[in-house]
Amino acid sequence: MDYKEKFVRLMLEAGVLKFGEFKTKSGRLSPYFINTGNYSTGRELKLLGEFYADLIMDKLKDKVDFLYGPAYKGIPLAAAVSIALYNKYNIEMPYCFNRKEAKDHGEGGVIVAYQPKDGDRALIIEDVITAGTSVRESVPILKAKADVHIGSMVISVDRMEKGYNGKTAISEVKEEFNIDTYPIVSVKDIIEILYNKEIDGKIIMNDAIKASIEAYMAEYCVTE
């Protein structure tokens, strides 16, 4: 079993990957949904953090100074990844996240935990990217704090969806902000791993589910 299949199995076990009809942040009705808010145990967060950490070490080693998790789902993700990098690779990687509302007492501010400095290289830790909305919110928050370089983002799943200009959201984020996005798996990987295959004695993705996902992709995704 390769790491992609292991990751898809983890999403299923935790109830993070579901099939049905769901309204996404972009307003589209999707036949599947990725909800990292359903990771709810120490074991699940440990494994999740390790998947992200492995990808970071493979693609971005020595290119990151701190992790940024956009509120709310990015908060436990960034914390889990920071812990995994330390436990598995002995790398002490700072992390931070934003408040939804600025604190007006004490030290105040929007950024919690590590305080970015000019010249720092930020890595955004996200769950999925659909239309790139979260990135467009995160960049000005970080830039308002310090003159940081935001060159990369790691996500659980690449939904391969079109953003605002007909290209994939990942392509648009690259063009608009010069941010490279690294997914653990893509929706095409999920289809390949699950279609008509038994997992724990059950077919998770049958012909009907596969057809609904492919119809959605034909309308909203860029698959080439």
Domain enclosing residue 145, as ranges: 3-220
Please pick, among 25, 59, 103, 143, the residue that the annotation labels catalytic: 103
Q: Do 52 and 85 touch, CB atoms closer than 8 A? A: no
Average pLDDT over residues 109-114: 92
Q: How many CB atoms lie within 10 A of CB 75?
A: 18
Please tell me the total count of domains within the chain.
Answer: 1
Active site residue 103: yes
108: burial class by Cβ within 10 Å (0-12, 13-18, 19+)?
exposed
Q: Under a CB-based contact definition with an 8 Å cutoff, are residues 205 and 191 in contact?
A: yes
What is the pLDDT, as a whole number, of residue 108? 56
Q: What pLDDT was estimated at residue 103?
A: 58
Higher pLDDT, 149 or 73: 149
pLDDT at position 224 is 64
pTM comes to 0.91
Domain CATH number, residue 137 = 3.40.50.2020
Nearest to 155 by CA among 124, 179, 133, 177: 124
DSSP per-residue letters across 60-76:
-TTS-SEEEE-TTTHHH
**Mean pLDDT along residues 2-12:** 95
What does the pLDDT read at residue 105?
A: 52
Instruction: State what percent of residues in the chain have pLDDT above 90.
Output: 76
Using alpha carbons only, give the angle 214, 219, 222 rounded to the nearest 5 degrees: 80
Tokens describing residue 74: 């990015």
Q: With bands split at pLDDT 50, 70 and 90, how would you rate the model's confidence at 86? A: very high
Band of residue 203 on the pLDDT scale cut at 50, 70, 90: very high
